[in-house]
Structure 1
């Protein structure tokens, strides 16, 4: 658990950086762009890169064998580059320079995000991974809270200060990970040793893995749509002020943060599929109830309950997809996880926005509930417990 908390610093720095990026870069873009849709498109660069780069980097990290380990080389390259480019972002002098800094920062983050996430199952026994995922998500959540709390104050002094702080935190996290986290593969590495041929991912992608990935896609479609369009729903449909609508969504995020550790414990005790299924059904009931709610107080209560159920889903989903394969494919499965979640983040907001234009604002939670129904149907198709698949893997055909 000590290593897990130390590894959480990596997630802390990633979440801190992304929160600052998402909060302040739109203000920089607004200096040059008058179209909100174009600004929104520019802010999805990371999701498009995640579709291609992160799965490939995750796969490459599975095949990497060095004296530093499989994942650490990517951190040692990507984190310093990300620290440099995130620091440079507020020093733009024109739109092309700002876009160049944004792209380079996103590329740098893509180099080490999948390997950083894959480090958790690398150093954690399977039975402890849901608890560990709860810890690192808690650390990530704290990074986001710090970004909004301290970052906004620093931004008032100088727009460059929060980004400089993020770069410093990124570098400090890299040094902590380098000197305190040693991968199991690095301990057994011998210079000049014959490298083992990697396990081919296609030999491990069975119907269980496909259904889990499909379920992940559908529940992220539900979540991403609500996260992106809730403020519009609250102001246009419920008649809330901008401040009240955005503040209401905070209840969902805080409930998720508080329940991150307990949901990991529940997944370890009762099984990942069982807790995820309960979370999907619970969130479906919450979203279904919100369709009929007009009271701000009742809405916020339901969002608190929804955040608890979302923690049950999100904290246990990554350890579950990792547990469906052998240890040699952890990086590849991490990349696949980000592939489907990023695809959902790209598709969901414009799709649900189009549906709101066609059928009215109320359709937001109807569409999100439909996504959760489809996710639950995928879960029903999974007959064998993923932990059992992991415990007795069949020999790959190399």
Structure 2
């Protein structure tokens, strides 16, 4: 568990960067673009990279074998580049340079997101992965809270300060990971690249996996659109200041942090599917209720409850996907997980933005609630019997050669 807490530092840096990106990039884009649908589309740039790069990089990291390990080389390249380009974003001189810095930062982050996530199951026994996912997402949630709360204050001082701070923290987090996580020493199960069976991308799509991925697509369709457009919703629909809108997201992230570790424990005790189902049902009602709210206090109260339900979903979904495959396919399955979530993230902001252009901002949370309903229907198709058959046998601990 000590290594899991240290690995959470990597998720901390990823979360703080993406939280700031989603909170403040729409304000930069709004200066040049009037269409909410087009702003939503521009907010999906990172997911196009995730769509094509992350499954490939995740699979490639399964076959990588260096003195730094399988995953760490990708962190050593991607994190410094992401820090540099992220810090440059607020210094854009026009729409062209803004898009250029956004693309370069997203490309850099795509190099290390899947390998960072895949490190968790690498160094964690299968029976403890849901708890471990709770811990690392707890750290990620702390990053989001700092981004939304501290970032709102820094942004009001100067728009560059949140991004500069996130870049510095990314480099510090990389140094911590490099000196505390030694893959060759810490791996629970490791098969050197030259001894590993070839992992077929197609073979990973068994029936339980397909239904679960369908559910993942639709709950991310709901969540990603809300995350990308919430600050504009708060500013233009609720008449909040930019700082108030971004700070409100800190309440959602705070609840997510508080619910992360308990959600992992509940998933282990009662089963991942049940806890995810409770979270999905809860968000159906929370998103629907937010549609009727026009005051700041009840909005933030609902966001707190929503953050707890989101923790129940998000903490258990990735270990669920990994559990349906073999140890040799962890990186590949991580890539598949990001493939589906990225498809949802590509689809959601422009789709929600287009609906907002047509019907107004009030449609945002109705749409999100509907997406959760469809996710729940897919989740019902993940049969326990199929899961039992799909679960791999536990491997024995091995070490690097």
Going from structure 1 to structure 2, the CA distance change for 1:250 and 1:93 (only over 3 Å counts) comes to: closer
**What's 1:100 paired with?**
100
Q: How many angstroms apart in 1 are the aligned matches of 2:232 and 2:190?
A: 54
Deviation at 1:130, TM superposition (A): 1.5
Answer yes or no: is the 8 Å Cα contact 2:40–2:349 preserved in 1: no
**What's 2:390 paired with?**
389
Q: Is it true that 1:72 corresponds to 2:72 in the alignment?
A: yes
Aligned pairs for 1:1-398 (under 5 A) are 1-26=1-26, 28-29=28-29, 33-37=32-36, 38-93=38-93, 95-155=95-155, 159-184=159-184, 194-230=194-230, 240-243=238-241, 249-290=249-290, 299-356=299-356, 363-384=363-384, 386=387, 389-392=390-393
Deviation at 1:257, TM superposition (A): 2.2
Q: How many angstroms apart in 2 are the aligned matches of 1:294 and 1:157?
A: 28
Q: How many angstroms apart in 2 are the aligned matches of 1:306 and 1:331?
A: 30
1:159-200 Cα distance to aligned partner (Å, 9 max, x none): 544433333322222222122112258879999x94433322
Answer yes or no: is the 8 Å Cα contact 1:65–1:195 preserved in 2: no
More displaced stretch, 326-335 vs 42-51? 42-51
Going from structure 1 to structure 2, the CA distance change for 1:36 and 1:206 (only over 3 Å counts) comes to: same
Deviation at 1:357, TM superposition (A): 5.2
Going from structure 1 to structure 2, the CA distance change for 1:156 and 1:270 (only over 3 Å counts) comes to: same
Answer yes or no: is the 8 Å Cα contact 2:142–2:253 preserved in 1: no
Answer yes or no: is the 8 Å Cα contact 2:10–2:116 preserved in 1: yes
Deviation at 1:108, TM superposition (A): 0.8
More displaced stretch, 251-260 vs 336-345? 251-260
Deviation at 1:253, TM superposition (A): 3.1
Answer yes or no: is the 8 Å Cα contact 1:132–1:264 preserved in 2: yes
Deviation at 1:261, TM superposition (A): 1.4
**What's 2:399 paired with?**
none
Going from structure 1 to structure 2, the CA distance change for 1:190 and 1:319 (only over 3 Å counts) comes to: closer
Q: Which runs of 5+ in 2 are unaligned?
A: 395-401
Q: How many angstroms apart in 1 are the aligned matches of 2:55 and 2:247?
A: 35
Going from structure 1 to structure 2, the CA distance change for 1:257 and 1:194 (only over 3 Å counts) comes to: closer
Which structure has the larger Rg? 1
Going from structure 1 to structure 2, the CA distance change for 1:24 and 1:284 (only over 3 Å counts) comes to: closer
1:324-383 Cα distance to aligned partner (Å, 9 max, x none): 101111111111111211221221233234445556655444433322222122121111
Going from structure 1 to structure 2, the CA distance change for 1:20 and 1:349 (only over 3 Å counts) comes to: closer
Deviation at 1:70, TM superposition (A): 1.4
TM-score, length-normalised on structure 2? Answer: 0.84
Q: How many angstroms apart in 2 are the aligned matches of 1:228 and 1:17?
A: 14
More displaced stretch, 348-357 vs 22-31? 22-31
Answer yes or no: is the 8 Å Cα contact 2:148–2:247 preserved in 1: no
1:213-243 Cα distance to aligned partner (Å, 9 max, x none): 110001112223333455666677xx74324
Answer yes or no: is the 8 Å Cα contact 2:256–2:307 preserved in 1: yes
CA RMSD of aligned residues (A): 3.3
Q: Please give the secondary structure, in 2, of the residue aligned with 1:146.
A: helix
Answer yes or no: is the 8 Å Cα contact 1:69–1:185 preserved in 2: no
Q: How many angstroms apart in 2 are the aligned matches of 1:125 and 1:189?
A: 12
Q: How many angstroms apart in 1 are the aligned matches of 2:310 and 2:337?
A: 17
Answer yes or no: is the 8 Å Cα contact 1:62–1:198 preserved in 2: no
> How many residues are treated as equivalent by the alignment?
390
**What's 1:396 paired with?**
none
Deviation at 1:275, TM superposition (A): 0.7
Q: Please give the secondary structure, in 2, of the residue aligned with 1:345.
A: helix
Q: How many angstroms apart in 1 are the aligned matches of 2:102 and 2:253?
A: 26
Q: Please give the secondary structure, in 1, of the residue aligned with 2:112.
A: helix
Answer yes or no: is the 8 Å Cα contact 2:89–2:102 preserved in 1: yes
